[in-house]
Amino acid sequence: MISLRMLRVSDKTIWCCAFFLIAVGFLAIFSVNFSGDLKNSASAFQFVSRQFSAFLVGLAGLAFFAYLDYKHLKVIAIPFYIIVTLLLIFVLFKGSAVSGAQRWIYLGALSFQPSELTKLSIILVLASFFDFKKERSPIWPIALISGIPFILIFKQPDLGTALVIAAITLGMLIWNKTSGITLTMVLTPIISVIVRPNIFLWIFYIFLLWFILYFSRVNFFDLLVIMGINIGIGIVFPMIWGMLKEYQRLRIISFLNPGIDPHGSGYHTLQSLIAVGSGGIFGKGFLHGTQTQLHFIPEQHSDFIFSAVAEEFGLVGSVIVIAALVIMIRRAFLIADGARDFFGGILVAGASVMIGFHTLVSVGMVLGVMPVVGIPLPYVSFGGTSLIVNMILLGIIQSVAMRRQKLIF
C-alpha cells in the first residue's frame, strides 16, 4: 500500500545522513574539478551535472523500492542475478576499457558498470537463499553464488569490487549464524592469503591450524576440506599473484611501503596523505585546497574523494562525514535486528555490510592504512551507477524499517 503516512515510521536519521552525504559529495566533486574561476570550470559543472542526473534516477529507484514491500524482492532476486551475471560475461568480451580495466557498457550517451549492479544482486539472491535454508545453509551453493561474479569481476580486472562481493558474503554468513565449521571454511583461507607471501609463516600457520582443528575434535571430513582449501590456496597463490595486473601488484607493494615508488605506484597514497595533513583542524576552506585545486591526486573525484573533504573541511569536517556514515550503518543494523521477519533482517544486514566495507576501505586508502583497490566512498564519490545502487539500497532499508510495525490510521 502506498501512503505518505508510511514516512512517519521510516528512519529519519538515515534520511538525514544519506542526503547530507550526497550534498557533501556534490561540493567535493565540484571542488576537485574546479579550475580556478567559474568561467573556466566547465568540467566541474559537467561532473556535477552527470552526478545530479544519476541522483534523479537514484531518487526514483529509492522511492520505488521504499514503498515496494521488500518481500516481493524474492521474486526478482534470481532473474536479476542471472541478468547481471550475463552482463558481466558480456563485459569481458564486448565491454569498454577505461584506464586499463574493461568494466563499462556504453549505450549511446549512457554508460554503466555491471559490477556495481552485482553488489545489489548478490545481496538479494543471498538473502533469498538464506531465508529459504535458514541456519542449515550449506557452504557450496553460497560459494557458487558468490564465486561466479567474483571471478568475472576479478578478470576485468576490478579487485576492489571483487573484495566487496567477498565481504558481503562473509557478513551475511555471520548474520545468518552459520555454523562455526562453515565460518572456519570461509575465514581460514583469507588468513592463508594474508600470510602466504611469507612461505615460512604460512607453513607455521598450516601446522597451527591443523593442531587446533585436530584437538577441537572436528569431524574428519570437515578437517580434510578445511586443510585442503588452505593448502590449495598456498599452492595456487603464485598463480593468482601472476593474474593481477602490474599496477595492481605495485599498489599492494606500495601499500606496505609507499616510499618505494613515490612517483609511481606510491604517488596516490603520498599525495593523499599530504592533502589530509595540510587540512589541519578546520581545513583550508571550500575551493582553497592546494592539493585538490592543483590536481595533484589522480582520480580524486572518485576513489580519493575523502582527501578533498579532509583538506578543505579539515579534521572537523572529516569527522562529521565519517560520523554520518557510522550513524547510518549503525541505524541500518538496528533496523535489521528489529525487522519483522528473517528475510528483511538479513537483506538490510547485507546492505549495511556493503556500505560499511566501502567506508572502511575508501577512508583507509586515503589515510594509507588500506591498499589502493579502487572503492568509492558511499553517497559521496562520483559515479552514477554506484550512487544509484546505494540509493536503491537506501530505499530497501527504509522499506524494511517502515514495515517493522503495523500502521494505525
**Which residue would you say has higher pLDDT here, 290 or 398?**
398
- The answer on pLDDT for 296 being more than 80 is no
What pLDDT sits at residue 135? Answer: 60
For residue range 68-116, list pLDDT tens digits in order. 999 999 999 999 999 999 999 988 887 666 655 667 787 766 777 888 8
C-beta separation of 403 from 69 below 8 A: yes
Mean pLDDT rounded to a whole number for the chain: 83
Quick one: which of 80, 354, 335 has its CA closest to 72? 80
3-state secondary structure of 138: coil
pLDDT-derived band at 409, boundaries 50, 70, 90: very low
Q: How far is CA 101 from CA 96, 115, 118, 243, 269, in A?
A: 8, 12, 17, 13, 20
Which cell numbers in the block locate residue 400? Answer: 524494511
What pLDDT sits at residue 181? Answer: 76
What pLDDT sits at residue 173? Answer: 87
For residue range 358-369, list pLDDT tens digits in order. 999 899 888 877
**Which residue would you say has higher pLDDT here, 248 or 115?**
115
What pLDDT sits at residue 336? Answer: 93
Length reported for the chain: 409
Q: Which range in 4-8, 167-171, 388-392 is most confidently predicted, on average pLDDT?
A: 388-392
- The answer on pLDDT for 255 being more than 60 is no
What pLDDT sits at residue 290? Answer: 80
How many whole angstroms separate alpha carbon 322 and alpha carbon 273? 17
What pLDDT sits at residue 408? Answer: 41
For residue range 185-204, list pLDDT tens digits in order. 778 887 887 777 778 888 88
